[in-house]
Amino acid sequence: MIIKIQPGTTMYNIAVAFQLPLGIVIASNPNKDPNNLSIGDTLQIPGYQADTRLINAGDTYWSISQQENTDINQLRLANQYSPENLPIGRNLNIPKMVRGTIVQTDRIYSSSLMEEHLKELVEVYPFLDLRVIGQSVMGKPIYEVRVGSGSKLVHVNGSFHANEAITTSVIMKFIEEYAEAITTNEPIRGNNMMNYFENVTLSLVPMVNPDGVDLLAEGVPSEQEYRDLALEINNNSTDFSGWKANIRGVDLNNQYPANWQIEQNRKPKQPSPRDFPGNAPLTEPEAIAMAELVGRENFDRVLALHTQGQVIFWGYEGLEPPESQEIVSEYSRVSSFAPIRYVDSHAGFKDWFIQEFRLPGFTVELGKGVNPLPFNQFDEMYEQMLGIFLANSYI
C-alpha cells in the first residue's frame, strides 16, 4: 500500500500505527532517507493493501474506524483529508492487512504465472528485492528474490530439473509465509522472523529452468523453432512428464566443471529429455546465470532443491568443510531426511560449489515416488523443508 507523506509523518509513527518493525518500514523504502521525508512524497507500507469506501454524511475517522475495524491512526495516515472535514462522496482508503492469498500450491507453476506472483508479492511486501540474474535459452527471465539484512548469506534454488517443478512452489510458499510473518508479527514454529531477517540474507531462485518447466506446465512452445526442437528430442511425444532438461535437451545439473568429463563419458551423447550434460561445461545460459550469481556473491552455503528420495547429499570428493556435517545433521533432525555424504555423481551445482569454494553445499531431495511428484505430497514436503529453511537462522 502506498501513502503520501503528511506534515508530521515519520517512519517511526508509521511503524507504530501499522504495528510493523521499523526496520521493515525502512527496508520497504530503500530510496527514502528516514530522517528527511518530504511532504507529498510517497511511502510503501508493507503487508497492507487499500480498500476504498465512499464517505457519507456524518462520517468521521472514528466512526469509520469502528465500522471497518481499522486503527484510526492508520486511516489518518492513509488519507489526506482533514479530520474535521471529510468530503462527502469521495473515496476513503481503508488499510487492510494481507494474509496468504497469492502463492499457488496445488499445481505446477508456469514461468509466466510465477513471474506474476513474484511481482504481486513484491508489491505487497516491498522489502523483498526482486532481481533478474539471467535469461533462459528462450529469453525468459531467471528471477532471484533477496530478503533479509543479516551477514549470513544463504542461497536456495529450485527447478533445475523441469519435472521437479514442485520445488518452485515450495520456495514460493516460504517467501510468502516468511514475508507475512514479519508484517503480522507472528512466529513460524516459534521463530521470530524479524530476528531471522536481521541475521540471515536469503537468496532464492525459485525456477532455474523456466523453458523446461513450461513444457510440463503449458505443453510445446508456440515458437516453431523451439516447438520442433522439443518434439524432436522427445521422439515427437507431447508427454513431457519425463523431461528434466532445458529446452535444448541439456541437463542443467550436469553442466558444472566438477569432473564433468566423467558424466560426459557415461551419459547420453546428444540432446535428451534427461541426463545429457552438454558438449562442454557451462554452455547453457541457465547454468551460466547460476554460476555467475555464485561467483559474484559470497554465499556462506547453498541448497539446491530437487525431488525425490527424502535425502540430503552434502559432500563432494572430500572437499566439503567440517561444518557441513554439523549443518546437515541439524537439517536431517528437523526434516527427518537421511544425510548422504558421497554418491557416484559429478558435475552438479552443489558439487561445483563445494569444489570451487570449499563451503557447505547441499542437494535436498524432497518427497518420494516418481517424478513429477503429485501435489497431494506438497503439504508434507513443505513442512519438512520449512524446518531446513528455519534452521539456517541458528546453524
Q: How confident is the model at residue 85 (pLDDT cuts 50, 70, 90)?
A: confident
Q: What is the pLDDT of residues 340-379, one digit of tens each?
A: 999 999 999 999 999 999 999 999 999 999 999 999 999 9
Strands 361-366 and 311-313: antiparallel
Can you list the alpha helix ranges (DSSP code H) found in 79-138? Answer: 111-124
Q: What is the pLDDT of residues 23-42, one digit of tens each?
A: 999 999 999 999 999 999 99
CATH number, domain at 35? Answer: 3.10.350.10
List Cβ neighbours of 114 (8 Å cut-off, separation of 6 or more).
143, 168, 172, 206, 207, 210
The reported pLDDT for the residue numbered 84 is 87
Same domain, 336 and 378: yes
CB neighbours of 391 closer than 8 A, spacing ≥ 6?
327, 330, 331, 334
Cβ neighbours of residue 63 closer than 8 Å, sequence gap 6 or more: none
Q: Which residues are catalytic?
A: 365
Question: Does residue 134 sit in the same domain as residue 82?
Answer: no
Instruction: Examine the domain organization and report whether 180 and 122 are in the same domain.
Output: yes
Looking at the structure, tell me whether residues 300 and 380 fall in a common domain.
yes
Name the grid cell of 195: 530476528
Q: What is the mean pLDDT of residues 70-91?
A: 94
**DSSP states of 245-308 as a string?**
S-TTS--GGG-SSSSHHHHHHHS-SS--SS----SSTT-SHHHHHHHHHHHHS--SEEEEEEES
Domain count, the chain: 2
CATH number of domain containing 292? 3.40.630.10
Same domain assignment for residues 381 and 298: yes
Q: Give the span between the Cα atoms of 344 and 109, in whole angstroms.
A: 31
- Examine residue 225 and state whether it is found in any structural domain, yes or no: no
* Residue % of the chain over a pLDDT of 70: 100
Q: Are residues 92 and 133 in the same domain?
A: no
Q: Give the relative orientation of helices 210-218 and 111-124 as an angle to the nearest 10 degrees.
A: 110
Q: Are residues 206 and 119 in the same domain?
A: yes
Tell me, yes or no, whether 321 and 344 share the same domain.
Answer: yes
pLDDT at 69 over 90: yes
- The answer to whether position 72 is within a domain reads yes
Task: Supply the range of the domain harboring residue 30.
Answer: 2-97
Mean pLDDT score across all residues of the chain: 97
Answer yes or no: do 18 and 150 share one domain: no
pLDDT over 90 at 100, yes or no: no
Instruction: Name the grid cell of 117.
Output: 506472483
pTM comes to 0.97
pLDDT bucket at 101, cuts 50 / 70 / 90: confident
